[in-house]
Each structure stands twice: as C-alpha cells, then as structure tokens.
Structure 1
C-alpha cells in the first residue's frame, strides 16, 4: 500500500496528515500538529517562516517513523509570499492582515481602475491582494535586486527541494492572472512598473519538484481552498463552503464570470483543477476565534457554542466589515457595529454565528443571480463543518440542504493530486 503526506497549513495551525487508498476511498490520519499565527513586530504583522519550516521538517521526521511515504506536498492560504534575492530571503514576510497596503491602494487604482483590473483578472477586491502588497514593496524599495516572489507554499517547497516553481491555483489569488490567458497579465505588470523577472512560468498541480529526505515532492493545488474543493465528494456540481478562519463560499464554473454584477458583489474567480472556482471570501470563524481568545480563552469551544445557541440576542452585524479584519479588540469592534449592548459574552458568539449565516444567505442569492442557476445542496467542509449550531442556522437562513462533511478535505484534495 502507498502512503502520501499532505501538509496543510492555515492561519492558526499546521498539520501533517497521511493518506492512503483502500476500497476506492482515501483514508487519512493526522500525525502532527503545530500552532501558527501572525507576529507583531515593528508595528507590522508578519509570519515567522523559519519557524514554519522547522515545524514542517519536524513533522516529516515523526511521520517517517510510522510510514514509508511515497510523496508529499504542501498547501497554505493564498496572497502572501516571500521575496527572494536568488537563494536569500528578504525579511520581513508580511501577513495579509497587516495594513501596509492602505497607503497605496488609491495609487494603484489611479494607474489601473479596479473595474479594469476585474475585467482582466476576475479577482475580487481585497486590500491584502498580492497585487497591492507587491506594489507597496516596490514603493518601499523592497523589490530592488529581488529575483523571485514565492507564494507561501512555493517557498516552503523550495526550502525542501531547492527548486522554485510557481503553482497555478495559488497564483490566481494574486489579482494578477489574466482570466483568458491564465498567465500573469503583462499589461498589469508593465503599467505598475513591476520587475518582469518576478513573473515566471506557472505550473499545474501534479508537477514534480524534487526530493526531500528520500521522499518525492510534488505540487498539489497549493491554495488550500483549491485542494479543499478537490477533496469534496460531490455527486453533482453544488455549492460549497470551505469553513475555517475564512469562509470561502462558491461553486465550480467552466469559465470565469467577470460581469459588472459579479464585480459589485465582490465575487472572485480562482483556479481549480480543470475548472474555475467562482467564490466569495467571508470573514469566517476568525470572528469566533478572536472573541474566544479575548473573552473566554480557557473555555471549551463546544461549551461556548452550546451557550451561544441558548442566547436570545438576535442583532446581527456585517460579517465582512473591514473593521473586523485585524482589530486590537474583536469585542470592541463588535460593540462599535452593534446598536444594542450584549448582556452576556455568549451574546457576542450568538451574534457572530447569526451574522455568518446571514452573510452565507446573501452570498448565495448573489451567486445564483450571477450564474443564472439554482442550487439545492450546500457542502460544508473544514473546521466549521463540525459546528452543528452554525450549520443549522445556515440551513435555516439559506434554505439549502446542508451537507456537513467533517473530513480533511484540503488534505484529501492534496493527496488526490499526488496519487495521480
């Protein structure tokens, strides 16, 4: 029997998951888990990539003691990257939650209006999109002498193999991929005065990279949502939510949809394995996790959910309000958005769950209008799939049949790419 290793790194944790095929199904076992999170340094939010690499290697060593691994690959969140001068990193490595791009977004849009960017790329507007981060790097002189920018999983895979290759699905989170050519858009690069050397050939999932400690290393769909969608056992093409720190709600389409209504609804078109992912970013369980960290850090999440379900607090907020992206206090951010003050800390959690469910409803209404199709089932994977209270609120609000799958969808999608 052949065993494969999926390394799945999110904004709050990373995991080493071994998978194998038996009776025509992929089975998984988690063997190692480590914490992750942004670090505040010099008034900026950054990633400790040296720590991540050390944890990846530590986990591989542990896995090898149990299994003879055929191959491995890594998937992470999108948009963030490491600048390289040949083999030397340019530090710091900024997090998408840092606010550095606020100073240059208007300048970028004065050079290329967002409407034109959307028509060319189909990428939603988010202040942390790679296009804005890179332009800020240019303005700050950080691109001088730089030969590569490697998206987070590309960088980690490079550190394991010594091979730099840019992967398609993660590249589509940059806001710089032309939706027709499926390559970096030369007009955008030229108009923004970016060094052309940075924008190299894109490779598809399944591409061989090299070896690490005797294990074959390949590209999976390195954007974690792309792997998660690939890991969902859908009978037909249906709605999905990859529910974690972010909630990514969408559907597979044959081609990108870049009309004015999609732009106004802030839907994105991102790469899948042979299809387009028409999806929307919703703030997700970040709201709950930050409230828990602040209000009741030692309480079990199951107890919090149960108490939230008994709360009678019904006021909602805009779950995608920009003030919720990286507040110093999530409670204070909620207080500023609410008209009525919660009486209990669990009222905040009730508000968060109600607000997420309503945001799912609105997003699905927009999606069905823009695609001209009606969907009946909503698949939910990721950590949120285990939250029966949020799932019940979502089913009630959306009117869709919720199929919550507490499976390792990202790892399964990663492993599928390795098996092919």
Structure 2
C-alpha cells in the first residue's frame, strides 16, 4: 500500500488538497479537493475569510477518509506577509487583512523615521514591498493600537491554520522572513529591531524550520475526521516550497516560481545585504535547509488574471496566450513592478492608461493587451537575471520555471527569446510538490533534498525551450 502525504496549498485565488505518494520509483500526485479564494471587502478593508478557509481545509481532509487514502502527515503552505493577532484566549483580534489593502500607505515613512531604509536592509536583507509585515504592523500601531495592546501572539496565515490543527504556536522560518523583521544572517527574530519599532517581543513565536514535526491533530479533530496524522512543517511560504521542487542539483540555473507572482532568483548559502543588492530590489527570503532564496518579487500573472476577470472570465488562459501570440508584434511595454498594477479597479484600463502616460501605442484588443503584459514580463525577467549575475559575479545557462505559470507557453517562448537562455518548464504543481517533498524527507523517504530532486526529475515531464526562439 502506498504511503500518502497531504499538501494543502492555498494561493491568492484558489486552494487545493493534493495527495502525494511514491509508486514505482516516481512521485505520484492526486488532487482530491479544490476551492476558491480571494480577498473580500469588510469594513472598508480587503480581508481574507479565515473561518471559511479553515472549513475548506477540514473539508479536504475529510475527503481523504471518503476515498480511503489516509495520509501519514500533512502540511499547509500559503502566500507570505499576512498574519493574525491572537488574544489571551487565542481568539483572533480584528480581521485577517490582506496584503493588497491600502492600510500600509505611508507606513514606510513611519518605519524609516525609526530605522533608516539602508540599515533595515542591512539587517533583514528583505526588499521593500509596501505590504511587508513590518509596514502592516506599523499600520496596526498607528490606526488600531487596541489590537496590539491586547495581542499575545502573532501567527502568519499558515502558522495560524497549523495552530488550529495542533494547538502548537510557532512561526515557520520561510514565512517569517517575509515580515522584514528577521535577522538575515542569524535566521532568527531581530529583537533589537522589533523593540525599536515599539512591538512587543512576546508576540513573536519560536522560529521553526521546514521539516519539523509540529505534532498530532487535536483530539476533537481526530474524532471529526476519523483518523489522526502528523502535522509536518513544509516551507510554509509557497515560494520556498516551489523552489524545493526545482528538479536540479547543480547551481547553473536561476529559478522562476511562476504564478500570481513571479519570484525570480537563485539559491545561496548566505544572504547578500549590500547596498547594490538593495538598489537592485533583491530580497533574501528563507528557503529549505536554511538556504537563502535570493530573488526579486515581480508582479507575475496577476495582471493576466485580472485582465481575464475584467472580461468576466470569458476566455481561458490558453485562449489568452493564443491571442497574445497572434499579436506578437505589438510594441508597447509596461513596468510590471509598478504599484499602479497592484490592485487597480480595472486592469485593462490601467494598462491602457500606463501606455498613454508613457507615450506608447495603446492596446485595443485582448491580444495586444496580453502581448504587452507577457512581453513586459519576459523583458523584466531578462533585466532581473542580469542583475543577479552582476550581484553573484557569475552567469547562469538556464532558467527553471516551476508553478502553474509554466502552462503559459507563449510566455515561456518569450522568456527564452528575451534572456537568450534555455528555459526548462516543470513541474507545474511545484508548490504542492515542494510541500510533499519536505514531509517525505522528514519521514525518511529521502535522505535529503538532493535525493528528492533526483526523483522529481524522473517523475515529471520537463519541457525545454531552446534559444533563439522565433
């Protein structure tokens, strides 16, 4: 009988439960449950419905029992930076506000009055993104101080769901680094920084590393589900899980975790917190096995997802790619890292307005709009890789794309064309696979990530795009 591991992978637009097992020397995946996700407006804020999300988590676990495939362990990964505050009774204070909410506007200035931007980067190595936890907490302090006064614990989104399952409070390492409050070199909370900012040290829990067995299910959940299992921490930040799923053991590549966001970078043993690195907008996030994921956050397929939504989801993503390929010669480009594309009321109009402001041809058709986005992404990838090569003092011969964005074949071709490098695409279920692999290593199914990655290469089809691409 196969041994099953359950990955609960929750993204900004959807979540899914995927069972993984090893059969005939390969990793086999089975999606058993899927649900929709998204921020909702509540009291003027963009929030996550954490109660509904936990109900989906439980429903997917129950599905395992229904189909007779009981996992030996499970772990949850999500996006980064967002959190809940718990009171003395472990009840959530306020709402789980989402990273696209505008409450952090101006909070960078508040933080930099206390600690200069350059020094903050030297300590944490984290790129300035206005949604980082540090700015969210400063907003709490300025606008909702009552919550911070009453709070006894801060748990990031996956930490909170793991706590609901086990009763154990920790802050997992890869997720914690997205806060911009972790010492990049020590891989622990920067308590001096936390005190300078006026946050209580006691809010922050023990930092736990991926692969740690957190515990068993709470007794009432064992009764509800009809079985017990281990809760094992994956890289709870989905980027870390996706990078663990890259099917390569050398160091001659850059990765792109491609989805709503495109995270482009390389794995390193030590962080780069230099001024050059900061000026080039690179970040040093935590990875599996205490690695540093040295990368840049790029807006990614959020823009295409939003364009599709503006058109009432009438077109599939494959159809949008086809329309873009037909309009391949459209010349206009946008800066995909510009904050104007973070949460516009209408993405199509925002793209048109950007082209007008910059004196470029305005896209009129879906194909032209999509080409503008895809080509802009590919050119941003090229600039970013050149920046990484300048920082690391070396070049990389290929790019590994993992995640659902790898299904955008037109973008893959543009990436090979723009960068002049081989583009290896797959596995597209990268985040869930990385989640499962961390559990498998913890259980002893693999001795280390190198052995796991060797099996990944045998288990999944990898498509290669050679350059030049015409």
Query: TM class by shorter-chain length?
Result: over 0.9
| Bigger Cα displacement from structure 2, 97-106 vs 276-285 | 97-106
Deviation digits for residues 295-320 of structure 1 (CA, Å, limit 9, x no counterpart): 35222221121011101322100011
**Partners of 2:312 and 2:40 in 1: CA distance:** 21
Distance 1:62 1:110 in 2: 51
3-state secondary structure, aligned to 1:65 = helix
Question: Is 1:284 equivalent to 2:286 in the alignment?
Answer: no
**SS state at 2:183 partner:** coil
1:239-287: CA deviations, max 9, x gaps?
1000000000010011001111110011000111221110110000000
Aligned to 2:100: 97
Residues 110-148 of structure 1: CA distance to partner in whole angstroms, max 9, x if unpaired? 111110000001000000000110111122212011011
Q: Deviations over 1:127-185 (max 9, x none)?
A: 00001101111222120110111000000111111211111111011101111211111
CA distance in 2, matches of 1:319, 1:359: 7
Runs (5+) with no aligned partner, structure 2: 223-227, 443-470
Distance in 1 between residues matched to 2:265 and 2:382, nearest whole Å: 12
Partner of 1:189: 194
Confirm or deny that 1:28 pairs with 2:52: no
Aligned to 2:398: 377
Q: Are 2:182 and 1:172 equivalent residues in the alignment?
A: no
Write the distance in 1 (CA, Å) between the matches of 2:280 and 2:241.
24
Question: Residue by residue, what CA displacement relative to the aligned partner does 1:224-253 show, whole Å, maximum 9, x if unpaired?
Answer: 110111111114122100000000001001
Structure 1 residue 408: Cα displacement: 1.6
- 1:319 aligns to what? 336
Q: Hey, what does 2:76 align to over in structure 1?
A: 74
Work out whether residues 234 and 435 of structure 2, in 8 Å CA contact, stay in contact via their aligned partners in 1: yes
**Residues 405 and 428 in structure 2, CA contact (< 8 A), matched pair in contact too:** no
Q: What is the RMSD of the two structures over their aligned residues, measured on CA atoms?
A: 1.1
Work out whether 1:346 is the aligned partner of 2:367: yes
Q: Does 1:331 align with 2:348?
A: yes
Query: C-alpha separation between the residues in 1 aligned to 2:337 and 2:418?
Result: 17
SS of structure 1 residue aligned to 2:149: coil
Paired residue for 1:264? 279
Inter-partner Cα distance in structure 2 for 1:104 and 1:403: 40
Structure 1 partner of 2:135: 132
**Structure 2-normalised TM-score?**
0.88
Distance (whole Å) between structure 1 residues aligned to residue 41 and residue 123 of structure 2:
35
Query: Are 2:384 and 1:366 aligned?
Result: no
Find the aligned partners of 1:144 and 1:230 in 2 and give their Cα distance: 38
Deviates more, 1:349-358 or 1:297-306: 297-306
Correspondence 1:148 to 2:153:
yes
Structure 2 SS opposite 1:4: strand
1:118 matched to which residue of 2? 121
How many angstroms apart in 1 are the aligned matches of 2:429 and 2:313?
Answer: 25
Q: Report the alpha carbon displacement of residue 383 of structure 1 after superposing the two structures with TM.
A: 1.1
Distance 1:350 1:260 in 2: 34
CA–CA distance in 2 between the matches of 1:319 and 1:373?
26
CA shift, 1:390, in A, is 0.3
The TM-score normalised by the length of structure 1 is 0.98
- Aligned partner of 1:234 among 211, 232, 248: 248
Instruction: Give the Cα separation in 2 of the matches to 1:362 and 1:64.
Output: 48
Contact 2:39 2:47 (C-alpha < 8 Å) held by counterparts: yes
Please give the secondary structure, in 1, of the residue aligned with 2:16: strand
Contact kept, 8 Å, 1:28 with 1:408, in 2: the verdict is no
CA displacement at 1:42 relative to structure 2: 2.3
| Contact 2:399–2:421 (Cα < 8 Å) also in 1 | yes
Query: Helix, strand or coil: the match of 2:332?
Result: coil
Return the offset for 1:365: 0.6
Indicate the SS of the match to 1:144.
Answer: helix
1:310-332 CA-partner distances (Å, limit 9, x unpaired)? 01322100011110001111112
Matches of 2:438 and 2:34, distance apart in 1: 22
Q: Is the 2:323–2:366 contact (alpha carbons within 8 Å) kept by the matching residues of 1?
A: no
